[in-house]
């Protein structure tokens, strides 16, 4: 990826910025318990997340700023998803509270650990994290738009916990924060070759 002379005025950066500025709007829809508007704009946020990554890779518009904006916007999307769960679907999720809070705790730990070790939120964009993001996105869309499906919930939980563990292991291994890592295999391979 060429990030020598990067322009910050790219479509992916604008899409990530859109997600950031829409955060308080979507949060407002959750707080006012408008599940319809919350779901519509939450889905739009998820779709712009998919689009910004696709466009960035397809048209070589990956930037350091974009990686940071995307990661920050991802945190916002997670916050919205969890707020939505507690406001709209907690009755469905509550019987699975142990797995849900384990999942939530591990995700929070990835950011807390990054802030403590590197003084910034990580922007690894691991393959496992991306796959997890798709699984989580579909789960949350189905949860808010249709209903709670227990087998899909546990599929999402298992994928998410494994991805968070990989993320934490990488944070422990690397010395300096890096963006756009592929996964633990590649980090270890680079470490062994270097």
What's the whole-number average pLDDT of the chain?
A: 91
> What is the DSSP secondary-structure string of 77-142?
HHHHHHHHHHHHSHHHHGGGHHHHHHHHHHHHHHHHHHHHHHSS--B---HHHHHHHHHHHHHHHH
Check residue 194 and give its pLDDT: 67
pLDDT band for 2, please (50, 70, 90 cuts): very low
pLDDT (tens digit per residue) in 28-70: 999 999 999 999 999 999 999 889 888 988 888 888 888 888 8
Q: List own/partner pairs for 105-111 with CB under 8 A and 24 or more apart.
A: 106/160, 106/161, 106/164, 106/165, 106/168, 107/78, 107/160, 107/164, 109/164, 109/168, 110/164, 110/167, 110/168, 110/171, 111/75
State yes or no: pLDDT of 4 exceeds 70.
Answer: no
User: 96-118 pLDDT, tens per residue?
Assistant: 999 999 999 999 999 899 999 99
Summarised one tens digit per residue, pLDDT across range 140-157 is: 999 999 999 999 999 999
Least confident stretch, 77-91, 124-138, 160-174: 124-138
Look at residue 5 and tell me whether its pLDDT is greater than 80.
Answer: no
Burial letters 96-130, b for 16+ CB under 10 A, else e: eeebbeebbebbeebbeebeeeeeebbbbbbbbbe
DSSP element (H, E) containing 64:
helix 64-88
pLDDT value at 71 more than 90: no
Question: Quick one: how far is CA 104 from the chain centroid?
Answer: 12
Predicted local confidence at residue 145, as pLDDT: 95
pTM of this structure = 0.86
């Amino acid at each position: 990826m060429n990030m020598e002379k990067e322009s910050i005025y790219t479509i992916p950066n604008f899409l990530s910025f859109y997600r950031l500025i829409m955060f308080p709007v979507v949060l407002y829809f959750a707080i006012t318990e408008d599940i319809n508007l919350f779901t519509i704009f939450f889905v739009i946020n998820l779709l712009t997340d998919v689009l910004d990554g696709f466009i960035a890779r397809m048209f070589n518009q990956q930037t350091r700023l974009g990686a940071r904006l995307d990661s920050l916007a991802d945190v916002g999307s997670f916050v919205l998803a969890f707020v939505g769960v507690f406001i709209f679907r907690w009755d469905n999720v509550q019987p699975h509270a142990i797995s849900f809070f384990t999942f939530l705790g591990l995700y929070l730990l990835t950011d807390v650990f990054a802030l403590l070790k590197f003084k910034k939120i990580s922007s690894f964009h691991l393959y496992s994290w991306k796959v997890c993001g798709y699984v989580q996105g579909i789960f949350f869309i189905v949860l808010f738009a249709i209903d709670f499906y227990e087998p899909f919930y546990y599929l999402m939980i298992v994928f998410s916990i494994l991805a968070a563990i990989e993320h934490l292991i990488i944070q422990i291994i690397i010395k300096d924060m890096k963006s756009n890592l592929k996964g633990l295999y590649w980090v270890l391979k680079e470490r062994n070759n270097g």
